[in-house]
Copies of this chain bind each other. A is one copy, B any other.
Amino acid sequence: MPAPRTGPAGDLDPAIAALLKRDDAGLVAAVVQDATDGRVLMVGWMDDEALHRTLTTGRATYYSRSRRDYWVKGESSGNRQWVRSVSLDCDGDAVLVQVEQEGPACHTGAASCFDTHPLAPATQVVEVDR
C-alpha cells in the first residue's frame, strides 16, 4: 500500500490540480449523488491522487481522514460506485461525483448516509418569514 499523499501529487492532470483549493489536510469534499434518481448518497474526501483514481478508473476512490489511506467504495462491501461524471465547483474546494450505486451507499445499510439523522426542518419559520 503506498504511503498516503495529500495535496498535489504527480498523477492528477496539472490543469485540474491547479484549480483545487485544498483544506489544511490537502483534501477537497466529494459529494456523491446517485446518477439515476438524484439522491445525495454520501460525502467523502479526496486528495489529488484519489481524484485522479476516480477520474481514470471509473470507480469512486476516497481518502480516509481517520485511517489516512485510500479506499475504493465497495471494495470490501461490494456496494460499488461506478463514476458517471465528476464536476468541480466554482471555488475548487468540492467535487460532485455522480455515480451508479450498487446496493446501499451507507455502511449502516441505509440507501444514503443522510437517512440516519434527520434534523428538524424549519418549514414553519420559512412560511412565516416569506
Interface residues of A in 78-107 (CB under 8 A from B): 82-96, 106-107
Q: How far is the CB of A91 from chain B (nearest CB, A)?
A: 7
Size class of A's contact patch?
35 or more
B residues within 8 A CB of A129?
Answer: 57-59
Q: How far is the CB of A90 from chain B (nearest CB, A)?
A: 5
B residues within 8 A CB of A77?
Answer: none
The answer to whether residues A125 and B43 also contact, given A89-B113, A113-B91, A115-B87 and a CB cut-off of 8 A, is: no
Instruction: Tell me if A's interface is mostly helix, strand, loop or mixed.
Output: mixed
Are B117 and A19 touching (Cβ within 8 A)?
yes
In the assembly, how many copies of this chain are there?
2
Are B130 and A116 touching (Cβ within 8 A)?
no
Are A55 and B130 touching (Cβ within 8 A)?
no
Are B125 and A86 touching (Cβ within 8 A)?
no
Convert A52-92 into 0s and 1s, putting 1 for each residue whose CB lies closer than 8 angstroms to a CB of B. Answer: 00111111000000000000000000000011111111111
Task: Please report A residues at the B interface, Cβ cutoff 8 Å.
Answer: 16, 19, 23-25, 29, 31, 33, 37-40, 42-43, 54-59, 82-96, 106-108, 110, 113-123, 125-126, 129-130
